[in-house]
Amino acid sequence: MDVLNLLDPTSALIVVSGTFLATILRAGLDDFLVTVRTVWRRGRKDFDPEPLRSELARLVQDVQSDGLLRMKTHQFDDPAFDDAAMRMIKSRSFEAFERRLDYHKAHRQAATRKAVATLHNAADNAPTFGLAGTLIALSQLPTDSSGAGMNAALAGAVLTTLYGLLLSHLIFHPVAEAVKRASDYEEQARSDLQRWAHDQFEDAKAANYASSTVVPLNPHKDEPLSDLMVARTPVHLPEDEDASA
């Protein structure tokens, strides 16, 4: 079999351009652009939590040693953690750190859902335009039944169907599942980091509170504390009537 016989630029153009056009019209241009960015980000490199873990450990160490008032800015090289750390420093609040991470998590998950839905949409459209290409090719059958023209038209009809199936099942569906798997792995790793940071911040908060609380000494060890809280004032008794007379 000659592989070059499977290459037909015209058939490929009909299937690919029709698939993308139908996908944009059905999903919308915004979702299509979100899909392109998401696929590009997932395909560029896998998520590595170790650099974030190291920088997060340094952040926690600074909070434990210096507190929120004197801690310095940290660079995570990650938009979500950079934004969360900056919000925590500005607001002096551990809760602000977690709220910003939750916000970015919701944004990432929404983008992933749009990307997966759009890719599956494209996978559904590809065979349809393979069939459309087949009909276009069959419409070009010669009326005089010449051998060369007949073979070219039939070849185009078969190839457009093939291109539609390959585009659907070897590109769009697998890419959609790959994006979903990568997203699930990343969100699980980020959730683990966030839970660990939450525990460390709670410990730091408790330590700072304990160090700033002054416990009064009780010099009267044998008396209950409630008795010590009663004001000790002299009691004046009324004078004897005979003495006053």
pLDDT for position 154: 82
With respect to residue 242, please indicate whether it lies within any of the assigned structural domains.
no
pLDDT digits (tens, 9 = 90+) for 158-196: 899 999 999 999 999 999 999 999 999 999 999 999 998
Closest CA to 109 of 23, 36, 38: 38
Residue 159 located in a structural domain: yes
Please, what is the end-to-end C-alpha distance for the chain in angstroms? 139
Gap between the Cα atoms of 114 and 119, Å rounded: 9
Cα 131 to Cα 169: distance, rounded to the nearest angstrom: 15
* Residue whose structure tokens are 């660079």: 75
Q: Each residue of 84-136: pLDDT tens digit?
A: 988 988 888 888 999 999 999 999 999 999 999 999 999 999 999 999 988 88
Task: Please report whether residue 243 resides in a domain.
Answer: no
What whole-number distance in Å separates Cα of residue 231 and Cα of residue 235?
Answer: 11
Task: Determine, yes or no, domain membership for 115.
Answer: yes
List of residues 6+ apart from 23 with CB closer than 8 A? 32, 118, 121, 122, 125
Does 57 score more than 70 pLDDT?
yes
Is pLDDT above 80 for 148? no
The whole domain housing 97 covers 3-237
pLDDT of residue 223: 45
**b/e 77-116 (16+ beta carbons within 10 angstroms → b):** ebebbbbbbebbbeeeebebbbebbeebbeebeebbebbb
Closest to 100 (Cα-Cα) out of 197, 3, 221: 197
Dump pLDDT digits (tens) for 61-73: 887 777 766 677 7
Tell me how many domains the chain contains. 1
Query: Is residue 163 included in any domain, yes or no?
Result: yes
Residue 12 inside a domain? The answer is: yes
Dihedral (C-alpha) 59, 60, 62, 63: value to the nearest 10 degrees? 120
pLDDT band at 229 (very low <50, low <70, confident <90, very high): very low
Instruction: Round to whole Å and give the CA distance between 105 and 93.
Output: 19
Per residue in 9-55, pLDDT tens? 888 999 999 999 999 999 999 999 999 999 998 888 788 888 888 88
pLDDT computed for residue 208 by the predictor: 61
Q: Is 245 inside any structural domain?
A: no
In a domain, 119, yes or no: yes
Give the torsion through C-alpha atoms of 152, 158, 161, 166, to 10 deg: -100
C-beta neighbour count of 227 within 10 angstroms: 10
